[in-house]
Amino acid sequence: MSDQTNNAVGIINISTELTNLSKEIASVPEPWASNLRLKFDSLSNEILRCLAATIERDKSILVLVEQAKLDTQYLDFDLEATKREKRELQSKIDDILGTDGNALGTDNDS
């Protein structure tokens, strides 16, 4: 199971558990029910805050991963363009000097 699937299942489980707990609190007699409701509300709000923070963190990570992919593609493109330019310049030098590129001790490995 992927992390996203695990997270979704975890959120559903938490939601189900909170719903069940809320129903159980409703069946408790007063004044205990009021005290439990306050604690339940506080806990629910903290859980929602943590879930929201987790979602924001995951979004930030996804943006960073996508940017890294784009940067890598750009660098690959730039590297290939640089290699192509090097070959073209080496060819011009060879034409001018009438050599095969090895006379100056250059390598033609790419």
Q: What is the pLDDT along the chain (110 residues), one digit of tens a residue?
A: 566 666 666 677 888 888 888 899 989 899 899 999 999 999 989 988 998 999 999 999 999 999 999 999 999 999 999 999 999 999 999 999 987 755 555 555 55
Single pTM value for the model? 0.57
Q: Name every residue whose Cβ is closer than 8 Å to that of residue 106 and which is 6 or more positions away in sequence.
A: 90
**Would you say residue 105 lies in a domain?**
no
**Would you say residue 104 lies in a domain?**
no
Q: What is the pLDDT of residue 3?
A: 64
**Would you say residue 106 lies in a domain?**
no
Q: What is the pLDDT of residue 107?
A: 55
Number of domain units in the chain: 1
Determine the structural domain holding residue 27 and report its residue range: 3-97
Cα dihedral 92, 98, 102, 104, rounded to 10, equals -80
